[in-house]
Structure 1
Amino acid sequence: MKKIKTALLSYGMSGKVFHAPFLQLHPGFELVGSWERSKKLIQNDYPEVKSFDTLDAILQDDSIDLVVVNTPVATHYEYTKKVLEAGKHALVEKAFTTTVAEAQELADLAKSKNLKLCVYQNRRWDSDFKTVQKVLQENALGELVEAEFHFDRYNPILSPKVHKETVNEGAGILKDLGPHLIDQALCLFGLPKAVFGDIRITRENSVVDDWIDLTLFYQNFRMRLKASFFVREPHPAFTLHGKKGSFLKPRGDIQEDELKLDKKPNLEDWGTEPEALQGFLHTEKEGNVIREKIPTLQGNYYDLFDGLYHAITQNSEVPVTAQDGVNVMRIIEAAIESNATQKVINL
């Protein structure tokens, strides 16, 4: 099996939790090391890898095939452009960039150099979202009337990460949790006709947006995407109502929590939700009204990396394309314009 030699651009929570464990698990990847600016931590977990002092040291290493751009959002465009110009494939965390123009430029650059550019939208491989996707694919609800997705938390305390709480092009909940919700919506339904956005600051002493309520206008239904730091008693993460029935699903994916506890992913029972968090389906089947719990599908971020491996080695499409990233940025820009003008923005 061909090995894709891979480097990370940081080894904080993102590198340690979301990337390194899956790069180590997948037999097709070889984790070479990470750029570490001050704290040198990666060799504590992976003694055999390198700690790079500079980005240039990674870019100039001809053995490295793939670079994971897992740095603050405001740096994504600059670093990804350098990675692509160095002739390396790139996996870029959300938000893909800070503007549509940046996203499109990177997409065009990757295409011109015949390189793979993938956006790390791992929430497509959450157990709860995969289950919602299956319910829709089976047409269990009939024609959709409305849907509402939440990514809520109760956390009024400002983050200690300076780049998250200071005014910059990548800060704020719209470009932090927003891309998860938006990508899931677009993955299921494609681009809407129009967007309305309500964006607020609710935490004491906060200077960046921390509450969003977006409405996506589709031809025959409406979709709301909401995120807040002041939800102590959570709504269902996924609420869908169709002309035959409804499906409600709490947020239940356990992967992030397990990874933060330093548990290592596997290919057997990883990402298996507790039965208590199953979704509830109330609909009609073959003339009979049913109300039942729906078994949750297994989640596994490994599948994103596996898809990326096959894209690089077999020249197939990446699991989350650069165009997907462009489309998410289109929704974000439309929401910002809508919030400023208090108008619905046509796409």
Structure 2
Amino acid sequence: MTTQLQVGLIGYGFAGRTFHAPVITSVPGMNLKTVVERRSEYSKERYPWVNVVKSVDELYADPDIDVVVVTTPSSDHVEFVRDALNAGKHVVVEKPFTATAAEADELIELAKEKNKVLSVFHNRRWDGDFLTIKEILQEGLLGNVMECEMHWDGFSPIVGDNWRDKAGPANGVFYDLGVHLMDQALSLFGTPKTILGDVQIQREGGQSHDYFDVTLGYESNLKVILKSSRFVKSHGPRYVIHGDKGSFIKYGIDPQEVALINGESPATTHHWGQEPQEMWGKLQTTIGKLNVDSVVETIPGAYQDYYQNIYDHIKGNAELEVKPEEARLNIRLIELALQSSKEGRILEVTP
């Protein structure tokens, strides 16, 4: 019989409501026991069994809680992660991990001291298009990759009232969306040798970064380009990868987010994460004497696999997929990209 882990969720805003609660509750080994909501009890509408508390201290004091999930605004991550670890809980924290690498180092050391699991919710490693690209590269279908360009664009020329658009540590599109692309790039290609950043506030009245164009340089002459703009009404490819054997081009975005926003769940939706054929990526390559020009069926995305891994790792049955040291490296590279942008020069990547 499966021994369940008891989960406490801090925050039931967009991230907690959309990405965490429905995914946690789709993993048989995890029970969403408690939600911290200071001014409402919205979580009980969908999860009537949960215990809603008004204070994080009530959550920390519950001896039955095994895992605390932090989904607060980025600027509060350090405080909540620190306090949860000190309370003797395993911790999952929404991305970005922290605002600075030094803060990440502090939390990593504390987790080791307390002998508790600490992981960052880099769910985009379980996007279908990323899983597909990972498989294409592992199979060597593009040969030696020379260039990879990743985009996360949108059209929102007017600054909103969202906390992510306000001034503050770890706010802005580079920390919010860029950290996902950075994590995917490092997962595919490892740590770069150099970094060149162009990070800007382009929208009138903007208080936080809303544009970035960052190039990671590798010793193999590989260039990985990460880009985002809020002024893209007509979308181009999301991924463009070129190697000495061929190219892969992929449009569109993983369907899991829209499904979650619409109230669906991996536990109840048939063919979860499956992408329609018209969105499959295009592969042009050479296999032996054959020139191949075809589409590649997208591997279904699976955000639930992130939390399944958390369960399996805590139970001692699997290696942790998203290690805090990896999330810390993402933050360090964001710091360097911001420095590069400010100084207008290429920087060597340092720990």
Check whether TM > 0.5. Answer: yes
State the match for 1:302 in structure 2. 304
Moved over 6 A (4+): none
Task: Please give the alpha-carbon distance, in whole angstroms, between the structure 2 residues aligned to 1:252 and 1:340.
Answer: 31
Larger deviation, residues 282-291 vs 152-161? 152-161
Task: Please give the alpha-carbon distance, in whole angstroms, between the structure 2 residues aligned to 1:210 and 1:249.
Answer: 23
State the match for 2:285 in structure 1. 283
CA RMSD of aligned residues (A): 1.2
In the TM superposition, residue 268 of structure 1 has moved relative to its aligned partner by 5.4
In the TM superposition, residue 48 of structure 1 has moved relative to its aligned partner by 1.0
Paired AA for residue 322 in structure 2: V
Larger deviation, residues 37-46 vs 117-126? 37-46
Deviations 1:61-87 (A, max 9, x none): 111010111111111111101111111
Task: Please give the alpha-carbon distance, in whole angstroms, between the structure 2 residues aligned to 1:3 and 1:241.
Answer: 45
Larger deviation, residues 137-146 vs 149-158? 149-158
Paired AA for residue 269 in structure 1: H
Task: Please give the alpha-carbon distance, in whole angstroms, between the structure 2 residues aligned to 1:115 and 1:309.
Answer: 13
State the match for 2:164 in structure 1. 164
In the TM superposition, residue 316 of structure 1 has moved relative to its aligned partner by 4.2
Larger deviation, residues 310-319 vs 175-184? 310-319
Paired AA for residue 286 in structure 2: E
TM-score with structure 1 length normalisation?
A: 0.97
Summarize the alignment of residues 129-278 of structure 1 with structure 2, pairs less than 5 Å apart.
129-161=130-162, 163-220=163-220, 221-266=222-267, 269-278=271-280
Gaps of 5+ in 1: none
Gaps of 5+ in 2: none
Whether the 8 Å contact between 1:252 and 1:273 is mirrored in structure 2 is: no
Task: Please give the alpha-carbon distance, in whole angstroms, between the structure 1 residues aligned to 2:113 and 2:311.
Answer: 20
Task: Please give the alpha-carbon distance, in whole angstroms, between the structure 1 residues aligned to 2:235 and 2:166.
Answer: 27
Larger deviation, residues 82-91 vs 20-29? 20-29
SS of residue matched to 1:262: coil
In the TM superposition, residue 10 of structure 1 has moved relative to its aligned partner by 0.5
Whether the 8 Å contact between 1:33 and 1:42 is mirrored in structure 2 is: no
Task: Please give the alpha-carbon distance, in whole angstroms, between the structure 2 residues aligned to 1:339 and 1:184.
Answer: 21
Task: Please give the alpha-carbon distance, in whole angstroms, between the structure 2 residues aligned to 1:14 and 1:240.
Answer: 30
Aligned length: 346
Whether the 8 Å contact between 1:117 and 1:318 is mirrored in structure 2 is: no
State the match for 2:114 in structure 1. 113
In the TM superposition, residue 333 of structure 1 has moved relative to its aligned partner by 0.6
Fraction of identical pairs, as percent: 38
SS of residue matched to 1:68: strand
Larger deviation, residues 40-49 vs 94-103? 40-49
TM-score with structure 2 length normalisation?
A: 0.96
Alignment partner for residue 341 of structure 1, among 318, 340, 343? Answer: 343
SS of residue matched to 1:160: coil
State the match for 2:326 in structure 1. 324
In the TM superposition, residue 252 of structure 1 has moved relative to its aligned partner by 3.2
Task: Please give the alpha-carbon distance, in whole angstroms, between the structure 2 residues aligned to 1:171 and 1:22.
Answer: 25
State the match for 1:92 in structure 2. 93
Paired AA for residue 68 in structure 1: V
Task: Please give the alpha-carbon distance, in whole angstroms, between the structure 1 residues aligned to 2:308 and 2:9.
Answer: 17
Task: Please give the alpha-carbon distance, in whole angstroms, between the structure 2 residues aligned to 1:243 and 1:165.
Answer: 40
Task: Please give the alpha-carbon distance, in whole angstroms, between the structure 2 residues aligned to 1:346 and 1:330.
Answer: 12
SS of residue matched to 1:270: coil
In the TM superposition, residue 327 of structure 1 has moved relative to its aligned partner by 0.7
1:66 maps to 2:67: yes
State the match for 1:311 in structure 2. 313
Paired AA for residue 51 in structure 1: V
In the TM superposition, residue 14 of structure 1 has moved relative to its aligned partner by 1.1
SS of residue matched to 1:22: helix
State the match for 1:7 in structure 2. 8
State the match for 2:127 in structure 1. 126
Paired AA for residue 59 in structure 2: I
State the match for 1:54 in structure 2. 55
Paired AA for residue 323 in structure 1: E
